[in-house]
């Protein structure tokens, strides 16, 4: 436990030094909210709910995707590439402890960025915060984290170079936010694109959970299908990653 806490604190300092990731993680959702809250003002979805009320739960997943897929994945691969995992192992610190420390640091970053986005939305656009739904929203937050971790595990199972991973992770990042309904709501997509998104971009199910819970449309139990899809796809990515890791591990 002491090793984990020490590593987490060390990784938080490293994340703070990564200016590019911090700027993207903290400023992008806020800038997007400012732009689209004005651009989409007057639009309504889900039986008359103002679209501006649903921007925050759409942009919180962007913070998660950036925190896990981009920051955590890139840092983890750098550790592997530079031999730091082996160095820590020689010091008696397991790879699991190291990767957990990395993840905790990025998880805390996600929470801080999410609170900043919510505070900005509440202060500038007077967006109401659904305090009663926050426990359910927290579970949805964790489920989206699980899904992004599974994608990251899958990608790092066969990508060995951090430079390569940086390019691939950015592509997956933008694919999810632009074609997953996180930037423009799925209701604005043409029907064929909407069907594509629901089949090939499961982040949309996390979006539906976050939006529904934020708007007070039931509890997490009412989004069992969405939760099961995210968990199922996550397990599939982890299983595929384990197979690829074993295969590429033998080649190396």
Q: What angle do CA 53, 183, 49 make, to 5 degrees?
A: 25
Question: How many domains does the chain fold into?
Answer: 1
Phi first, then psi: what are they for 125, rounded to 5°? Answer: -110, 5
What is the reported pTM? 0.89
Please state, in angstroms and rounded to a whole number, the distance separating the CA atoms of residues 246 and 222: 38
Q: What is the CA radius of gyration of the chain?
A: 19
Domain containing residue 136: 2-251
Q: Would you say 71 and 15 are in contact if contact means Cβ atoms under 8 Å apart?
A: yes
Mean of per-residue pLDDT scores for the chain: 85
pLDDT for 51-65, tens place per residue?
A: 888 899 999 999 999
Given a cut of 50, is residue 76 above it in pLDDT? yes
């Amino acid at each position: 436990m002491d090793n984990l806490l020490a590593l987490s604190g060390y990784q938080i300092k490293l994340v703070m030094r990564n200016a590019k990731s911090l700027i993207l993680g903290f400023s992008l959702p806020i800038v997007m909210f400012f732009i689209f809250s004005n651009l989409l003002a007057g639009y309504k979805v889900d039986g008359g709910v103002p679209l501006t009320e649903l921007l925050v739960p759409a942009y919180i997943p962007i913070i998660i995707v950036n925190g896990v897929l981009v920051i955590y994945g890139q840092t983890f691969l750098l550790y592997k590439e530079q031999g730091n995992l082996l160095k820590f192992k020689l010091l008696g610190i397991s790879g699991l402890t190291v990767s957990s420390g990395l993840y905790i640091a990025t998880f805390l970053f996600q929470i801080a960025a999410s609170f900043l986005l919510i505070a900005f939305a509440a202060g500038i656009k007077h967006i109401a915060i659904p305090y009663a739904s926050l426990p359910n929203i927290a579970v949805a937050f964790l489920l989206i984290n699980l899904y992004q971790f599974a994608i990251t595990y899958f990608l790092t199972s066969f990508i060995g170079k951090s430079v390569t991973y940086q390019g691939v992770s950015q592509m997956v990042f933008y694919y999810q936010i632009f074609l997953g309904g996180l930037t423009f709501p799925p209701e604005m997509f043409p029907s064929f694109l909407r069907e594509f998104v629901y089949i090939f971009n499961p982040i949309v199910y996390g979006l539906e959970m976050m939006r529904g819970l934020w708007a007070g449309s039931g509890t997490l139990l009412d989004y069992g299908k969405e939760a099961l899809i995210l968990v199922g796809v996550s397990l599939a990515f982890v299983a595929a990653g384990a197979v690829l890791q074993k295969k590429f591990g033998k080649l190396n």
